[in-house]
Amino acid sequence: MEATVHREHVDLLVIGWGKGGKTLAGTVGRSGRRVALVEQDALMVGGTCINVACVPTKALVHDAGARRPEDDPASWFIQAVKRRDTLTAAMRKKNHSMLDTVDSVLLVSGHAAFTGPREVTVDQGEDTLVLTADTVVINTGSVPTIPPIPGLEGLGEGFQLGGTIHDSTTLQHADPLPRRLVVVGGGYVGLEFASMFAHFGSEVTVLDRGSRPLKHEDEDVARTAVAIMEEDGVRFRSGASVTAIDPGAAGTSSTAEATVTYEVDGAEQSIGADAVLLALGRTPATAGLGLDAAGVVTDERGFVQVDEYLHTSVEGVFAIGDVKGGQMFTYTSLDDHRIVADQLSGGGQRSLEDRVAVPYTMFLTPPLARVGMSLAEAKSWAEENGRHLSVASKKVADIAAMPRPKIEGDPRGLITVVVDTASNLILGASLQHVHAEEVINLVALAIRHGITAAELRDSIYIHPSATEALNEVLGGLVPAE
């Protein structure tokens, strides 16, 4: 049978079903303009967040924290994974329906590849669809980085991720629950998974080549987080440079044992594991996208280069979400859609420069959240600008006016707030305690809108809540040393 080529022109073409892209497609489609959205993986409909990242991992974190000592780790993990899968399937179905019901949105399954500045081809079996558009949005996201460690050369050939060697996606379906887990990398993703699997019942060891985990956090903040994780059973090896990984039995069997070889201070050591998590960053998902054919410029790491309005080097082509690098959060991808929507239908003024005090949370148990400057960053800023700092810092267990963590049985953590002394404006905050992921949004709002530390200190908060810690903590501001 002769292959058929179909052609379609649309107002907006979105490549990839991530948060920013799907929201933009819906917004533009409901305005009556013709939109095409291309997604190559049926299991990624709705984007990374709902399928393999934010939602499923936090569901697992929640269920891991709910396990009691008498609960069997293996069976508890199986039930948690089932709940995770049920949740993501329902959200995937809902996300498909939200766009499928918009008449002017064309949903396309297949791999898109640029053949010109604003033209892509999508192979659909024996047929080919050629899409052209007035505006194209690259929204393909990112994937976990596979490091060039000896022993991993056969990934994709001799063995696949998911046996003894995992990334943050495949580890969510480890079968059975690994009795021993080695995490390579002491960053946010690595520690979140380390904490999660320790609560599921795995013996977890983190190998971090840095002098300490969480190198971007202040030392006392990182020290508190690490101490909490150690209390929960996680072991850390800092200054550990991994030199080789033997996946064992080609890494294809869940009963195989992997061996990780690493050096600390020049001395070679090794550790066995039922599973190894590679948590060493993320890589832009642009393989086979044909960016060269479009003329789209990338940086040395392959991320699409954009200006403050998310324009790429090609007129009419934008990039949003992880594929452009920078802060890789679902909520910043959502804000990316606002910037592009303003370019297409608004005044074209909104830009990345408007993005101030973006908070983030690492979902340990309890979660660690931060916004604005760290204390180290604030000290550099103060020195450069001739300013003085005030700092409030208190262990959660010592905050009398914050009983919520004690009620929930986990009064661990630390709250630190950095303030510009003269203006009393908050420069940054680090919160580790139950519900820190909620309280940090209030602090971020205060920073963005110039609400002073005194106003937060003297505000009326619900009791008992995690927010009311601000009453007591901010009452203890002292000059920074």
CB-count burial class (<10 Å; 0-12, 13-18, 19+) for 384: exposed
Q: Under 8 Å CB-to-CB from 454, ≥6 apart: which residues? A: 424, 474
> What are the residues facing 15 on neighbouring strands?
38, 138
Which amino acids are annotated as binding site, given as ranges? Answer: 58, 140-142, 185-192, 281, 322
Measured distance CA(34)–CA(28) in Å, rounded: 8
Measured distance CA(190)–CA(281) in Å, rounded: 9
Q: What are the C-alpha distances in Å from 63 to residues 80, 257, 280, 405?
A: 6, 27, 25, 18
Q: Going by DSSP bridges, is the β-strand pair 111-116/119-124 parallel, antiparallel, or unpaired?
A: antiparallel
Q: Which of 6, 173, 216, 463 is catalytic?
A: 463
Measured distance CA(1)–CA(36) in Å, rounded: 27
Measured distance CA(455)–CA(182) in Å, rounded: 45
* Length of the chain in terms of residues written: 481
Measured distance CA(155)–CA(166) in Å, rounded: 11
Amino acid in the structure at residue 29: G
Q: Is 122 helix (H, G, I), strand (E, B) or coil?
A: strand
Measured distance CA(429)–CA(460) in Å, rounded: 20
Which amino acids are annotated as binding site for NAD(+), given as ranges? Answer: 185-192, 281
Measured distance CA(298)–CA(304) in Å, rounded: 4
Q: Is 96 a catalytic residue?
A: no
Q: Which of 142, 144, 140 shows the shortest CA–CA distance to 39? A: 140
Measured distance CA(422)–CA(233) in Å, rounded: 44
Considering just the CA atoms, what is the radius of gyration of the chain in Å? Answer: 24
Measured distance CA(178)–CA(437) in Å, rounded: 28
What positions carry a catalytic annotation? 463
